[in-house]
Amino acid sequence: MGKNHAHEHSHAHTKDVLNRLAKAGGHLNKVRSMVENGEDCSEVLVQLAAVKAALNNTGKIILKDHIEHCIVHAVEEGDARKIQELNEAIDKFMK
């Protein structure tokens, strides 16, 4: 979230996001282990879906935090480029 910002700010949910990413990474490693061990494909898919959901929920937190901090500031400063960047990021996130 931090590249090319001209203003100082802190994100309210950074610690939560980092914790969620660490948990999702650990869960993904467990899924990899399940595949290596030849565990049931249906169970692997269920666990993989849980990883995807965790990442999507983390993305929502990042998006909300970005809107609350960066976008509000961009609007106050009249920075239309930041709005366009947000739209592009949403398009990529929602693919």
> Which residues touch 50 (CB under 8 Å, ≥6 apart)?
27
Helices (H) and strands (E) in the chain, counts: 4, 0
Look at residue 5 and tell me if it is in a domain: no
Which residues constitute the domain of residue 34? 14-93
Look at residue 89 and tell me if it is in a domain: yes
Look at residue 32 and tell me if it is in a domain: yes
Task: Give the CATH number for residue 77.
Answer: 1.20.58.1000
Count the Cβ atoms, other than its own, within 10 Å of residue 62: 20
Look at residue 3 and tell me if it is in a domain: no
Question: Could you read off the pLDDT of 27-75 as tens digits, one per residue?
Answer: 999 999 999 999 999 999 999 999 999 999 999 999 988 888 888 888 8
Least confident interval from 18-32, 33-47, 81-95: 81-95
């994100």: which residue's tokens?
11
pLDDT of residue 18: 94
Q: State the pTM of this model.
A: 0.75
Per-residue tokens: 47? 């666990």
pLDDT of residue 10: 61
> Which residues touch 30 (CB under 8 Å, ≥6 apart)?
47
Look at residue 9 and tell me if it is in a domain: no
Count of the separate structural domains present in the chain: 1
Look at residue 6 and tell me if it is in a domain: no
pLDDT of residue 70: 83
> Which residues touch 63 (CB under 8 Å, ≥6 apart)?
90, 93
> Which residues touch 71 (CB under 8 Å, ≥6 apart)?
82, 83, 86
